[in-house]
A and B are shown apart, each in its own frame.
Chain A
């Protein structure tokens, strides 16, 4: 749960804003917009997976997409590519030369889907369909040994995956998850 008393913050904020920033009559120039009109931009996915889109895909399908759209930069089987490896290093974070990858380091599977959909492939982000993003995410999790090649990722099955380094973080700022 939230560790802050938001009411206090809102009141403090109000006072600061009203006292220091705004003249007597505040500007109100935002236009109302519906959540459905925002949907094309609302691409962030939290660990609870609640805003994951419809669609599905498995590593079997993702392998071909990966080879076609990703391997030139991230290497065959996600190893040793010029834009960095996406595989390996699991369980070795206390060793001298760790290999920090999405498999060994990232705490949540939802972040893989979120990031690939928003930013990859590097030259044409947004060009994959949601099912292709599920499939290539499944492939990346599979080559890291986290899911089998038949595991079908969708809005329900993605967030329940437990990443190897799930408990590897200590927060310097209170968050509901720590």
Chain B
């Protein structure tokens, strides 16, 4: 191997275990490729002209599809009940380790349904606002589409995301299969506040009950003050096209930074209330039982979080030498301020580089160079947001909670790398 001549020296180290600082990379940018890819031998065969360069290709199509060579990039699907006893109540995971950038493609955005995906004809879908309002109103979708709209990027994350890491033994699943109950998209829609204004909310109105048109009539209570802040959208478009059926077509709530389940899909009704309704999904579910037997309720905001996506269990083994460690970070409270990476199980940390625009309540990409010397290592990422909140280690996260508490798990993900480069989910 020729790695030694490209190897960073000790002065280039950003932290233990082979993490490399930016300065070295800038100095040696041409060399910042995996060692295995640097060939010094000249290729012996002349280049071939492939068939796709020798005849016209397919004609244009009405709706583009991914390359057939990418057909393995799919959402892992998981039913939550035995077949026949709750089909349609399940999840599918965004395959985080197979994606780059920050926007989740619409066909790969995670799903959680409680009673399947309704096939709603937008021509007969209706949306009502009523309760503590002067003017109860009903809206057609076609009329709603005429309102002024706003566009913003935000993640939607299931409050149950990462629940496998609440289990006693680490499960061998990929980054997406562990943490992929999240997607990040550009949403376009009408601020809920505008429609509440039109209905003339009574002064006693302090909570909303939002309800879907699916068979579960999924319902959640939302403090009205959140809507008045202006961030709550009734979204019609996701990444430029109308919502997919599994994302709530023809309309859904999007509440940036809050438990995904408050972003009610297939929205049919908002009732203005003087108090919360205490629906099943804010009592039986989405409450955080502590060791003392008390459960936290209406814990809307999601914590600061990150995960390394390359390497990941289920991905290619790690090779010796220089490579890029990549991942995603997000916070329900605001912007990502920094992401640190450790290659020695948390003994030392180095700042990763954050890529692209860092938006509040949206996914942020991070990366760092790593020179792996082939000895067993543990990779971790730790995000900090602009409120100063820091992602906790798993044992600290679990400390207050009762066994089996799975919600709001934002603990640090640790990937073990064995001597032969195999990656596994480990608890530190």
Look across to chain A and name the residue whose beta carbon is closest to the beta carbon of B127. A30
Q: Roughly how many angstroms separate A73 CA and B139 CA in the complex, as a whole number?
A: 38
Set of chain A residues within 8 Å of B193, measured between Cβ atoms: 13, 16-17, 21
Q: Roughly how many angstroms separate A82 CA and B84 CA in the complex, as a whole number?
A: 9
Set of chain B residues within 8 Å of A83, measured between Cβ atoms: 81, 85-86
Q: Roughly how many angstroms separate A82 CA and B82 CA in the complex, as a whole number?
A: 6
Given known pairs A20-B230, A125-B216, A175-B207, the reply for A98 and B289 (CB within 8 Å) is yes
Give B158-184 as 1s and 0s: 1 = Cβ < 8 Å from A's Cβ atoms: 000000000000000000000000000
Report whether A170 and B280 are in contact in the complex, using a CB–CB cutoff of 8 Å: no
Set of chain A residues within 8 Å of B382, measured between Cβ atoms: none
Set of chain A residues within 8 Å of B33, measured between Cβ atoms: none
Given known pairs A6-B205, A16-B230, A106-B284, the reply for A29 and B147 (CB within 8 Å) is yes
Whole-angstrom distance between the Cβ of A150 and the nearest chain B Cβ: 27
CB of B105 within 8 A of chain A? no
Query: Which residues in window 274-323 of B have CB below 8 A to A?
Result: 274-280, 283-284, 287, 289, 291-300
Query: Which residues in window 311-350 of B have CB below 8 A to A?
Result: none
Look across to chain A and name the residue whose beta carbon is closest to the beta carbon of B228. A13
Report whether B139 and A31 are in contact in the complex, using a CB–CB cutoff of 8 Å: yes
Query: Which residues in window 108-142 of A have CB below 8 A to B?
Result: 108, 110-111, 114-115, 118-119, 122, 125
Given known pairs A22-B148, A170-B294, A170-B295, the reply for A44 and B197 (CB within 8 Å) is no
Set of chain A residues within 8 Å of B130, measured between Cβ atoms: 33, 35, 38, 42
Q: Roughly how many angstroms separate A119 CA and B198 CA in the complex, as a whole number?
A: 31
CB of A64 within 8 A of chain B? no
Set of chain A residues within 8 Å of B85, measured between Cβ atoms: 72-73, 81-83, 122
Give A71-101 as 1s and 0s: 1 = Cβ < 8 Å from B's Cβ atoms: 0110000000111100000000110111010
Look across to chain A and name the residue whose beta carbon is closest to the beta carbon of B88. A122
Give B74-102 as 1s and 0s: 1 = Cβ < 8 Å from A's Cβ atoms: 00000001100110010000000000000
CB of B26 within 8 A of chain A? no
CB of A66 within 8 A of chain B? no
Report whether B279 and A114 are in contact in the complex, using a CB–CB cutoff of 8 Å: yes
Choose from A14, A30, A46, A100 the contact partner of B277 (Cβ within 8 Å).
A46
Set of chain A residues within 8 Å of B207, measured between Cβ atoms: 175
Set of chain B residues within 8 Å of A73, measured between Cβ atoms: 85-86
Further 15 A-B residue pairs, CB within 8 A, beyond A6-B204, A20-B230: A6-B224, A13-B230, A20-B150, A27-B147, A30-B138, A38-B128, A41-B268, A44-B271, A46-B275, A73-B86, A81-B85, A93-B293, A111-B284, A119-B280, A170-B295
Q: What are 19 sample pairs from A and B whose C-beta atoms fall under 8 A apart?
A: A16-B229, A17-B230, A32-B135, A32-B137, A35-B130, A41-B268, A44-B271, A46-B273, A46-B275, A81-B85, A83-B85, A93-B295, A98-B289, A105-B295, A106-B284, A119-B216, A125-B217, A169-B294, A169-B297
Q: Which are the 8 A-B pairs with shortest beta-carbon distances?
A: A30-B137, A13-B228, A173-B298, A29-B143, A115-B280, A94-B293, A82-B85, A16-B230
Chain A residues packing against B (C-beta within 8 Å): 2, 4, 6-7, 9-10, 12-14, 16-17, 20-23, 26-35, 37-38, 41-47, 72-73, 81-84, 93-94, 96-98, 100, 102, 105-108, 110-111, 114-115, 118-119, 122, 125, 168-173, 175-177
